[in-house]
Structure formats: C-alpha cells, structure tokens
Amino acid sequence: MTALTDQHQFNLARDSLLAHEPTVGLTRARRRGYQRYRQFMSNVDLALLWKRRWFIVTMIVGFALMSAPTPSGLTHDGQVVLVMTLMATMLFITEAVPLPAVALLIVVGQVLLLGIDSTTVARSLMTDAVLFIMGSLMLAVAVVKQKLDKRIALAIVRVTGTSVFWICFGITAVCGALASFIGEHTVAAMMLPVGVTLISLTSNDPKKIHNLAAVILFSISFGCSIAGVTTPSGGARNAIIISYWKDFFYDPSDPVTYRYLMDYLTWTLYALPMFLLRLPVVTLLLIFTFKPEISNLSRAVSKLRTQVKLEGPMKPSGWLTIIVFAFVIVGWSVFSTGVGLGTVAIAGAVTYLVLGLVRWEDINSGVNWGIVLLYAAAISLGVQMKETGAAEWFAASLMRGLIDAGMTSTIAFDAASSILTILVSNTMTAGAAVAVLSPIILKMAAVSGHDPLIAGFVTAISSAFGYLTPAAQPAFTIIYASGYLKAKDFFKIGSRMTALSFAVLMLVSIFYWPMLAVD
Amino acid sequence: MSVFDFFRRTELSDRQEAAVMKTFSTLRAHRRSRFRILACIDGSEAGDMAVRFAARFAVSNNCDIIILHVRPIDQGLHSGGLQVRLARQNMIDAGFELPGVKYLKHALDVLKEEGIDVSGWQSATAHENAWGDAAGDTKVEYQSADGRTVVLKLKTAPDVAGGILDQYELGPYNLIILGEPSRWRSEFMSFFDAGIVQTVATVAPCSVLVARNSLEKRGFFICTDGSSRSLQAVRRAAVLATVIGEHVTLFSVAPDEIAKPAAEEAVANAKALLKAMKVDVAEAKAVVGNVLEEIVERGSLYKVIVVTDEGRSRIQRLFKGSLATESVRRARTSVLDVR
C-alpha cells in the first residue's frame, strides 16, 4: 500500500530516469541557440576518421609499397600499377569509401602516379564492355517497369502444377532462362514480387513458412545466379572478360589470335553446360536443405490466377517490350562481333525510350551509375596492368609458386584459379573481382602454357560462386531486401551450392572445354 | 545597396532568434514533462520482451511509448548496378508491406495483451524521405483522450545502431529498451565492431534497459558503490520501481573484507536516502566477493538489476572495462544501466 500512496508524490519524468539533452556536453561553449550548435556539429565529425580508418591504412600501405625498391624484372610503372590494384582491392573489400570513389581514385592515380595523359585515361574508361553494362542496366529498368512478373509466374504454374517442388523447379528454370539473356539482377528484381506473392498468399505469418519462403526465394536467386554466365549478356563479368581477351591476346595480324574475339554463340556453347548441369540439382538441394513446411501451393496459385484475371489481358506496351527485347537478343547473337555487345544494348535502351516504354527519369533513378563508373575504372586499370608488364611479372611470380607447389597440371591450375576467384568474389562484387583478377590469371595461363580462353571462363564462372553472404550476388541482395531471409540462410545453402558448383566446373573444364578448344 | 552587401554576414535579429528559441524550448519543455520510453524491436521474441517492459513501465498518464524498428537502407552497390530500390518499389507497387511494418503491427498486439489498446485512440501518420530510400521514414502516432501517446516508427538508416541513436537526437528519451542480443562481443572486440544492442547500450545518452525474460520475477535489485553518481542512480531507479509497484532491494559488494565497511556504508547511505524520500526498502545487503559474479548471481532472482553507468568513453572502456556493461552482458535477468 505504501507504494500506491507514494506513487502520487513522484513524477516519473522529473524524478525518475533522466532524458539527457543531446546538447549536454556543450553547455560550456557559448552559443546563441541549439540550431547554431547543430550547424556547428554538422561540420565536425571526428568519428569520420574512425570510419575511414581502412582508407587511411590503405593509403599508408600503398605509398609505402610504391616507394619500396622495385623488384627485379618489373618496371617502376608496373610496380605502381600493381600497388594501385592492391589498394583498389583493399578498398573494394573494406568498403572504407563509397565504391564509386575507388573508381575515381583509380582515374586520378593513373594520371598523377603513372603520368598518363588525362585524355588517354578518359578514353580507356569507355569501352564496349562498359557501354554494354550501361545499356543492359537501362534495358533492365525498362523490363522491370513493365510488371510482367505475375504473368510469367502463372505461365510457370500452368506447366508445373501446384506442387512446391515443381513450382520451384519451374521458377529456377524460367529465371535461369531469362537471366541467360538479361542481367541476373533484372530477373531477380522482376520475379521477387512473384515469390513474395506465392509466400504471402500461403500464410500471413512469415515465421510459419520460413522454410517455404527460403526455398521459393532462393529458387529465384539461384536460377538467376547459375544462368548469369550462360551468355555474354548475362552479367557484367562476362563482358569484362571478353574485353580483356581482346585487349590482351588479339592481334589483327595473327589469324591464330582471332579465337580471342569471343562471339555471343561461342561463349554460349562454352558456358551453357554450367547452367544445364546444375539446373536439376538446385531445386533438390533447396528442398533437402530447407524442407518446406507445406508441399502444395494450390491455395496461393488460385489466388494468383484471380489477380492476373483481374488485371485483364496483357497491354500492348507489354508485348512491345517483349518484342524489342527479342530483337536485342537476336542483335547480340548476330551482330555483336561486328558492332559490339554494347552498341546493341544501347540501341535497345534507346528504342525503349523512343517508344515511350520507359521514362528517362525511371532509368536515371533505377540504374546505379556508380557501378558503371566502377567497372570502367577497373577495366582501365586492368589494361594498364598489361601495358606496364605488371600482370605478366605478377603472373610469372605466382606461377613459380604454383610450380614449386607441384601444381603444374591444367586441372590444378584451373582449380587454383577457381578457388582464388571464389575467395575474392565472396568478399566483393563479382564484376570487380573479375576486373581485378582476370589480368593476372589470364597472364598466368599465357606464361604457363595453359589456354587463356579456358582460364578466362574459369575465372568468369567462378566469380558467380560467391554464395555465402547476402551481399555476394546481385540477385541475393535483391531477395534479401524482401525481409523473409536471414543471413545464416545464405551461408547454409551457399556452402553446399559452392561445393556443387565447383565440382561441376571442374568436370566441365576437364571433359567438355578441351573438346571445344581443339575445334 | 553596394556589392559588398552580398558578402556581409547577416544574423537573425534578436526578436527572430528569441522566437526560434521559444518554439524550441516549448517543444522541449513539453517533452521534458513526459516520461518517454523508446522500445526498439526487430521482429524477434526479444523485441516483444522490450515492448512488454515498455508497457509495464509506462503506468502513468505522462508516459509515452515509442516503438521503433530501424530498417537498414537498401544497398545498391552490391546489386550489380541495379538499384535495390527498384526492386523495393516493385514490391511496394505490388502492394507488399515493408518488412518492419509487420513487426510494428505485432508490437501493437503485444501492447494490447499488456493492457494498452490503441484501437480507440486518435491517430496521425507522418512520412518523410530519408537517405534517398524508396520507403523512407514513416511514423504513426496514437494519442489517447488522457494524453498518453504510443508512436510506431519505421525508420531507415545506414546502420541500425546509428538509426536508434539518431532517433534519440530527435527527441530525448528517458529510457531505451532493447531485447537481449544473440551474442555479445568482448570489450576489446566491441571497440572495432560491436553489435546493435551493445553499441546502443554503450553510447546511448540516456538509461538503457536490456530486456530478458524476467517479467514473472519481482523487484528491483539496485546495486550501489556509494559514489554520488551511484546514489543518484539509486534514487531515480527507486522512483521508477515504486511507481510501477515493484519492491526495492539495495545491494553492494566489497571485493575483500577490508572494503566491507565501505560497502555497508554505501548501502546504509542509499537506504537513508530512500527513507528520506519515503521509499520502502525490502532488503539491504552488503557482501564480500567477486563484484560481477555476486551481482549476476544474486540479481538473477529479481525482475531488474539496476547498475550505474560509469560514464566512460569507448577508449577508457578498452583499458578499464565497465562493470555496468559487463553486468548487462552476463546477467540472466533484465538489466537497467542508469545514466
């Protein structure tokens, strides 16, 4: 009773725990008002030093290595380029500064540290690969905006029926088929609402159907991810490696080097088995790993059908989008050797804009231009690695290490390149990993007598094996945004998927690619 | 007007400055008159526990509960060049809720179970853009006829701990309540990379309660070392305990027999202080032993252990550690770290 009577004496706000003013530390400072304090504090950020600690470390390490004695066999410019690559890698991994800032630093570094003319550096930034990345991102926005997702989903369930296994298989296959041609992130962004529709129409409580959600959403992302390497237009990494082959090995006066001008269909011939062999296994792996709570989605499917019926028949803009995209795919397959992948992609994007299927404002806000800049600078740095002889020197040094370790066979070389790429691509975006690693691996292959074409494929394909974290893959980041998945889910399925993919890659590189290379 | 006028530094006139200050101080004064509790949730059961504690602490009419879910901003750079907000926009267009909305609605259900039903209250919604995110920040405010407020806030921020601390800046709070995290880092590791709860518990300007499943237990176990800072904390925590109807136990530990008289004196002083305030003390104990272990062991029988924050900076903690933070980490019941 005492407590009750005393209760009236106390005012919680006054007598109990205090709400300290955020300004309390500044009472000594003379000031006319809180606003002025806010203005002052907005200009002072001591925590920034701590936030940028890895940037500072990178700069110190970088400049120390640059001023160190140049190793024998390497030019000073080569040393600078190698150190710049190391610094870029450190910044990619630690994300100490926004990633596009790394791209800008690479540009500034090339001019100031290597003494290259700024116009030459600017010219090296814009290649067909960069145009392609830019164009396909613009196409992506146009396609996503058309909202064809539910229709695609209904088309899938018409074929697969309502069993969870077959629906997931259908989703993986269709996402894969789409992601072979469009960027994998496009398909993930487009199909995510379908996945969430199926999940939310099954149950309102995410906790009750967590495993089902994982299976459906991972079907989307793995479908996109395993197919991203199938064709050159599947992802930025493919365009980057094609661009390196041409820059490093193509010599117009030597017909033997014409094979390094990779065309759309030849790439597909090489990479398609990686998709086809993994496709049937992915769904099984997902079902066994997560064991969904229910096995039949008939309730969700019938609701989905109702929703599509209510939307009415597909609009002309939808059909037009599909037709234009079909033309773009044909253009890539037929004209890419002549006019380049980038020109076709840009032409497609322009067509969408001219036909009014997408607004420039949508493209402007939907495309992350920083990534375009990042790839441009990374490719430009890769070219400098070749020009200064840095790639060759580093590759020769690494090869000596591999020879000392007794890893001279093609299988050992492929396995080592693959594992290196997997490790790096789990720590940074796949495109950046390919841009940084490829010059070294391609040169290693050339130095040691292995086929640079196969080494390039191993690198490009292995860079898609970053399955362990939500940030490792573009498609993963997008499905993670749905909020249904936890980071540990990615590790759980990702570790198995990495092992499976590595095994399939080794099989393909041992048995299939040598047959093609002979031709 | 000469050209130089363009470069002349101008200020608000005193009258305008006074008006700004008046508006500002009125708002602050209003907030100061309320006991504001910020309960942070993440959709887990630990988050539900935070809401339940908020409901049980907000017993009087001058209490406000703010339930906060911070959603990390959609990162675009890992998405291969396509902004994740495109996918997010696609989801919103398709009629899906953001992940946090479900958690906030669930928090309302939890409040209802605890006897705070906002269904009949007046509500207002506010939305503002934040960090260029497709969804931005959204706030729903419920106000009862007797002036109590429950606010649901879905906030977007680059990192969750930063978002919670930013929210503090928007309106000071008397208490931040967080659920227990799945793991804690050591003081050394936390200097480099601390978890959300640990970061907030370490650097929040106000008192922090880390809620564990101790709602069935009774009483506040208030620890003191006899310092003036500690006595202040005892006083304020005892008021809270009294108002919500919990009994108070005072406790002090001496590391050895020599220090025992000092510990006994600390408890006696605290008891005298509370007696002067007419707060009943159910029990007062001074023991000899390992300070941390004694607090954790004996305090585990109570609803809340109250410890006083030493007010050390992160670098000081690195070298000296913090008994308050260690108690928060190791305890098996809820711990209130008073600042």
ipTM value > 0.90: no
Q: Does the pLDDT value for residue A212 go beyond 50? A: yes
What is the C-alpha radius of gyration for chain A, rounded to an integer number of angstroms? 27
CB contact under 8 A, A10 and B239: yes
Per-residue model confidence (pLDDT) at position A517: 64
Chain B nearest CA to A332, separation (Å): 20
Q: Which CATH number fits domain B220-338: 3.40.50.2000, 3.40.1360.10, 3.10.20.30, 3.40.50.620?
A: 3.40.50.620
Residue with tokens 């009415």: A312
CB contact under 8 A, B81 and A189: no
Average pLDDT of the segment spanning B285-298: 91
More confident residue, B140 or A29: B140
Q: Enumerate the residues of chain B whose CB falls inside 8 A of the CB of residue A42.
A: none
Confirm if A414 and A507 have CB atoms less than 8 A apart: no
Per-residue model confidence (pLDDT) at position B337: 93
Q: Does the pLDDT value for residue B266 go beyond 70? A: yes
CB contact under 8 A, B173 and A19: yes
Per-residue model confidence (pLDDT) at position A159: 81
Among A14, A17, A371, A434, the residue to mutate for chain B (most B Cβ within 10 A): A17
Strand positions, DSSP E, B17-136 = 35-40, 63-72, 122-128
Length of chain B: 339
Q: What is the pLDDT of residues A373-411, one digit of tens each?
A: 888 888 888 888 878 888 778 877 877 887 787 777 878
More confident residue, A69 or B93: A69
CB contact under 8 A, B94 and A196: yes
> What percent of chain A is modeled with pLDDT above 70?
92
* B274: Cβ contacts below 8 Å, ≥ 6 apart: B234, B235, B238, B248, B250, B280, B281
Q: Select, from the ranges A321-325, A467-471, A483-487, B159-163, the one with the highest average predicted confidence (pLDDT).
A: A321-325
Average pLDDT of the segment spanning B280-299: 90
Nearest to B83 among A18, A366, A430 (CB): A366
Q: Enumerate the residues of chain A whose CB falls inside 8 A of the CB of residue B175.
A: 17
For A188, nearest residue in chain B (alpha carbons): B87
Average pLDDT of the segment spanning B237-256: 91
Per-residue model confidence (pLDDT) at position A433: 80
DSSP codes, A208-262: TTHHHHHHHHHHHHHHHHHHTTSSGGG-HHHHHHHHHHHHHH--TT-GGGGGGS-
Q: Does the pLDDT value for residue A180 go beyond 90? A: no
Q: Does the pLDDT value for residue B174 go beyond 80? A: yes
CB contact under 8 A, B174 and A196: no
pLDDT level of residue B268 (50, 70, 90 thresholds): very high
Among B36, B42, B82, B309, the residue to mutate for chain A (most A Cβ within 10 A): B82
Per-residue model confidence (pLDDT) at position A27: 46
Backbone angles phi, psi at B119, to 5 degrees: -60, -30
Indicate the helix (H) or strand (E) that contains B161: helix B160-170
Q: Does the pLDDT value for residue A133 go beyond 90? A: no
Q: Does the pLDDT value for residue A30 go beyond 70? A: no
Average pLDDT of the segment spanning A76-98: 85
Q: Select, from the ranges A363-367, A503-507, B182-186, the one with the highest average predicted confidence (pLDDT).
A: A503-507
DSSP code of A26?
A: G
Structure tokens at A162: 């309502």
Q: Does the pLDDT value for residue A3 go beyond 50? A: no
Nearest to B172 among A22, A193, A372 (CB): A22
Q: What is the pLDDT of residues B75-87, one digit of tens each?
A: 555 555 666 666 7
Q: Does the pLDDT value for residue A518 go beyond 60? A: no
Query: Which of A423-427, B82-86, B304-308 shows the lowest per-residue confidence on average (mean pLDDT)?
Result: B82-86
Chain B nearest CA to A393, separation (Å): 31
Query: Which of B12-21, B34-43, B71-80, B175-184 shows the lowest per-residue confidence on average (mean pLDDT)?
Result: B71-80
| Helix (H/G/I), strand (E/B), else coil: A487 | helix
Chain B nearest CA to A258, separation (Å): 30
> What percent of chain A is modeled with pLDDT above 90?
10
What pTM was computed for the model? 0.65
Chain A nearest CA to B104, separation (Å): 14
Average pLDDT of the segment spanning A352-362: 89
* A308: Cβ contacts below 8 Å, ≥ 6 apart: A150, A151, A154
Q: Select, from the ranges A176-185, A276-285, B165-174, the one with the highest average predicted confidence (pLDDT).
A: A276-285
Q: What is the pLDDT of residues A270-281, one digit of tens each?
A: 999 989 999 889
Query: Would the CA dihedral through B176, B180, B184, B187 be positive or negative?
Result: positive
Per-residue model confidence (pLDDT) at position A6: 44
More confident residue, A308 or B129: A308
Residue A29 one-letter amino acid: A
pLDDT level of residue A205 (50, 70, 90 thresholds): confident
Per-residue model confidence (pLDDT) at position A36: 58
CB contact under 8 A, B239 and A370: no
Q: What is the pLDDT of residues A459-485, one digit of tens each?
A: 999 988 888 877 777 788 778 877 788
Per-residue model confidence (pLDDT) at position B303: 93
Length of chain A: 519
Query: Which of B129-133, B140-144, B161-165 shows the lowest per-residue confidence on average (mean pLDDT)?
Result: B129-133
Mean pLDDT of chain B: 83
What is the architecture, at CATH level 2, of domain B32-211?
3-Layer(aba) Sandwich (3.40)
Q: Where are the domains of chain B?
A: 32-211, 220-338
Q: Does the pLDDT value for residue B223 go beyond 90? A: yes
| Helix (H/G/I), strand (E/B), else coil: B254 | strand
Q: Does the pLDDT value for residue A351 go beyond 70? A: yes
DSSP code of A70?
A: P
Q: Enumerate the residues of chain A whose CB falls inside 8 A of the CB of residue B100.
A: 483
Residue A195 one-letter amino acid: G
Query: Which of A108-122, A197-211, A448-462 shows the lowest per-residue confidence on average (mean pLDDT)?
Result: A197-211
Mean pLDDT of chain A: 82
Q: Does the pLDDT value for residue A99 go beyond 50? A: yes
Nearest to A381 by CA among A129, A110, A138: A110
* A270: Cβ contacts below 8 Å, ≥ 6 apart: A457, A513, A516
Average pLDDT of the segment spanning A76-102: 85
Structure tokens at B183: 């793991």
CB contact under 8 A, B81 and A13: no
Average pLDDT of the segment spanning A157-161: 80
Q: What is the pLDDT of residues A231-255, one digit of tens each?
A: 888 877 888 888 888 888 888 888 8
CB contact under 8 A, A193 and B94: yes
How do beta strands B334-338 and B304-308 pair? parallel
Cα–Cα distances (Å) from A372 to A134, A153, A195, in that order, read 6, 31, 29
**Vertex B309, ends B306 and B315: CA angle to 5°?**
150
Alpha-carbon distance of A312 to A310, in angstroms, equals 5
Query: Which of A102-116, A166-180, A339-353, B182-196 shows the lowest per-residue confidence on average (mean pLDDT)?
Result: B182-196
Q: Enumerate the residues of chain A whose CB falls inside 8 A of the CB of residue B172.
A: 19-22
CB contact under 8 A, A6 and B279: yes
Per-residue model confidence (pLDDT) at position A28: 45
Per-residue model confidence (pLDDT) at position A24: 47
Average pLDDT of the segment spanning A339-367: 87
Structure tokens at B307: 């410890």
Per-residue model confidence (pLDDT) at position B211: 92
Query: Which of A187-191, A288-292, A428-432 shows the lowest per-residue confidence on average (mean pLDDT)?
Result: A428-432
For A13, nearest residue in chain B (alpha carbons): B35
Q: Does the pLDDT value for residue A31 go beyond 50? A: no
For B236, nearest residue in chain A (alpha carbons): A16
Structure tokens at A4: 């009750």
